[in-house]
Amino acid sequence: MARQQSRYVCQACGTAHLRWEGQCRTCGAWNTLVETLVREPEQKRRLSAAAPERANVPQSLSGLREAELVRTPTGISEVDRVLGGGLVPGSVVLLGGEPGIGKSTLLLQAAAGLTAIGDVLYATGEESAGQVRLRAGRLGLLDGLAGERIRVVAENEVGRIAELSRSARPGVLVVDSIQTVTVDELEGPAGSVGQVRESALRLMELAKQDGIAVIVVGHVTKDGTLAGPKTLEHLVDVVLSLEGERTATLRLLRATKNRFGSTEEVGVFEMVERGLAEVADPGRAFLASADEHAPGSVVGATLEGTRPLMVEVQGLVAPGSYGSPRRTASGIDANRLALLIAVLGRRAGVGLGSHDVYANLAGGLDLADPGLDLPLALALASSLRDKPVPPDLVAIGEVGLLGELRPVPGLDRRLREAARLGFKTAVVPRSRHGVAPEVKGISVIAVGNLREAIGHALGLAPDPDGRAQRG
Ligand code: TYD
Ligand code: MG
The answer as to whether 465 is a domain residue is no
Q: Which of 109, 127, 141, 271 should be mutated for ligand 1, with most atoms under 8 A from CB? A: 271
Name the DSSP class of 435. Answer: P
List, in order, residues 6 or more apart from 49 with CB less than 8 Å away: 90, 91, 92, 208, 237, 259
Q: What does the pLDDT read at residue 227?
A: 53
Q: Which atom of ligand 1 is nearest to the CA of 138?
A: 22
Q: What does the pLDDT read at residue 329?
A: 95
**Number of domains, the chain:** 3
Q: What does the pLDDT read at residue 155?
A: 94
Domain identity same for 313 and 427 = yes
Domain identity same for 190 and 149 = yes
List, in order, residues 6 or more apart from 140 with CB less than 8 Å away: 274
Calpha distance 194→307 (Å, rounded): 38
For residues 217 and 95, the answer to whether their CB atoms sit within 8 Å is yes
Q: Domain of residue 191: give its range.
A: 77-280
The secondary structure of the chain in percent helix, strand, coil, rounded to multiples of 5, reads 30, 30, 45
Domain identity same for 142 and 224 = yes
Q: What does the pLDDT read at residue 43?
A: 45
Q: What does the pLDDT read at residue 111?
A: 96
The answer as to whether 471 is a domain residue is no
Calpha distance 406→418 (Å, rounded): 19
Task: Point out the ligand nearest to the CA of residue 277.
Answer: 1
Domain identity same for 246 and 332 = no
Domain identity same for 256 and 308 = no
Backbone angles phi, psi at 217, to 5 degrees: -90, 140
- Position 370, amino acid: P
Q: Which of 98, 105, 128 should be mutated for ligand 1, with most atoms under 8 A from CB? A: 105
Domain identity same for 275 and 304 = no
Which pLDDT tens digit goes with each residue over 141-165?
998 889 999 999 999 999 999 999 9
Q: Which atom of ligand 1 is nearest to the CA of 249?
A: 19
The pocket around ligand 1, CB under 6 angstroms, is made up of: 97, 99-105, 135, 138-139, 271, 273-275
Q: What does the pLDDT read at residue 44?
A: 47
- Position 188, amino acid: G
Task: Point out the ligand nearest to the CA of residue 98.
Answer: 1
Domain identity same for 97 and 179 = yes
Protein residue closest via CA to atom 13 of ligand 1? 100
The answer as to whether 292 is a domain residue is no
Q: What does the pLDDT read at residue 228?
A: 62
Q: How far is the CA of 276 from the centre of ligand 1 (A)?
A: 9
The answer as to whether 467 is a domain residue is no
Q: Which atom of ligand 1 is nearest to the CA of 103?
A: 7
Cis bond before residue 199 (omega within 30° of 0): no
Q: What does the pLDDT read at residue 291?
A: 59
pLDDT beneath 70, residues of the chain? 1-4, 39-55, 221-229, 289-292, 434, 460-471
Which of 115, 95, 112, 123 shows the shortest CA–CA distance to 258?
Answer: 95
Whole-structure pTM over 0.85, yes or no? no
Q: What does the pLDDT read at residue 282?
A: 81
